[in-house]
Amino acid sequence: MRTWKKKLYWFAATKNKLTLHDMKRILSLGIILMAGISCIMAQPAPDEALLTVVKKIESTPVKNQANTGTCWSFSTTSLVESQTIHNGYGTFDLSEMFTVRNIYTEKARNYMLRQGAAQFGPGGLGHDVIRAMATYGAVPESVYSGLNLGQKKHDHGKLDAQLKSYLDSLLKTRPVPVDWMKGFQNILDEHLGKAPETFTYRERQFTPKSFAAEVLHFKADDYVNITSFSHHPFYTSFILEAPDNFLNGSYYNLPLDEMIRVTERAVEQGYSIMWDADVSNEYFRQKDGYILQWKDGKIPATVSPDDEEMKYNQTFRQTLYENLTTQDDHLMHLVGLEKSKTGKKFFMVKNSWGEYGPFKGYIHVSEAYFAINTVSLVVPKAAIDKALLTKLGIQ
């Protein structure tokens, strides 16, 4: 995930013949608006009643990742929180930054062993959270907020730059000091605070691993990574080609229609999903509340769920992925299924930009937008049909 990435969107570039410089200026302005700066002319608030809720999954309150590239942790942590509610284990506010810290450490080892020829940055994918909780455990937000030095909100600008600079400086020497990790951890301590080895929760003492196992009942095998791209065989797994997939995580590959059906079926049965999607395009406008794939790129002045949309198919989706239009920009938490007055399907999605937008941090994403722009999913295994699990070779 690269929240602040600037890139040309294929449709706008071909239709409007804009230069790279022009597009960057336009997209930069869009990012400023996304941050919550008010427009001079107020727009009428969208009507959420235009959609009928088919199923809504209980989820924890909307959070704000603020000035960080950690949506992967916020979205997948929210998924785990919803799963603990679904499974009857209780409602928890888990620390996103405990996981972020542990993944920073894994990224650093990978970067050093690959001698700098690897991705090192704040981004990540959903499977990173699943791996981190299985390997290092989890802690409540009250135990480790990641806010240090009097911070009121997350800001990793200096942290990211300092960590990268430190690693690059080490790579200029041979041999690399054997204790280089100590310096890396000192930087994390300074910006995020020291990570707890033990803590007390509800009058019991835990380690992060015992808390994840005994309180959350967390198991990595309870989650399945899914995608849909035709350059690999369907019903097999492959390493998703995305810059932030530094751990080389594998994803089960389904035909597009089946990926959509898995998503719908999961929600219908009471399970939520982590959604990884391209959002650096002209259609993703959280300020509108409704996210559609408008036909011919023409976004109307007043947005309606029943606006006409682009047709989608596997081939079109694949073209956008291979020409680098579709990329893993942002990860969110899909928590509901809805229908418009004409029967169009929408997904209710919880974002991690605070209560921004007309629906206080939530958006309503059309099936067409979902089909074209989805990069990957993390789905609870219990939500997947047993016949499909057998076909994929999942026990």
Q: Beta-carbon neighbour count of residue 331 at 10 Å?
A: 33
The Cα 252–Cα 238 span in angstroms is 7
In the residue annotation, 71 being an active-site residue is answered as yes
Q: Please say whether the beta carbons of 291 and 363 come within 8 A.
A: yes
Closest by CA to 290, choosing from 341, 342, 358, is 358
Q: How many CB atoms lie within 10 A of CB 102?
A: 23
Q: Which of 245, 281, 351, 373 is catalytic?
A: 351
DSSP 175-196: SPPTTHHHHHHHHHHHHH-PPP
Task: Please give the backbone phi and psi of residue 153, each rounded to the nearest 5 degrees, phi first.
Answer: -145, 160
| 351 carries an active-site annotation | yes
**Is the N-terminal amide bond of 175 cis, ω within 30° of 0?**
yes
Structure letter (DSSP) for residue 346: E
| Helix residue ranges per DSSP H, the chain | 10-16, 20-34, 71-86, 96-113, 126-136, 157-170, 180-192, 208-214, 256-268, 314-322, 367-373, 386-392
Determine which one of 71, 156, 191, 333 is catalytic: 71
Kindly name the residue from 156, 330, 333, 364 that is annotated as catalytic: 330
Q: How far is CA 126 from CA 16, 31, 57, 202, in A?
A: 35, 23, 19, 29
Q: Is there a contact between 341 and 304 (Cβ–Cβ < 8 Å)?
A: no
373 catalytically annotated: no
Catalytic positions, please?
71, 330, 351
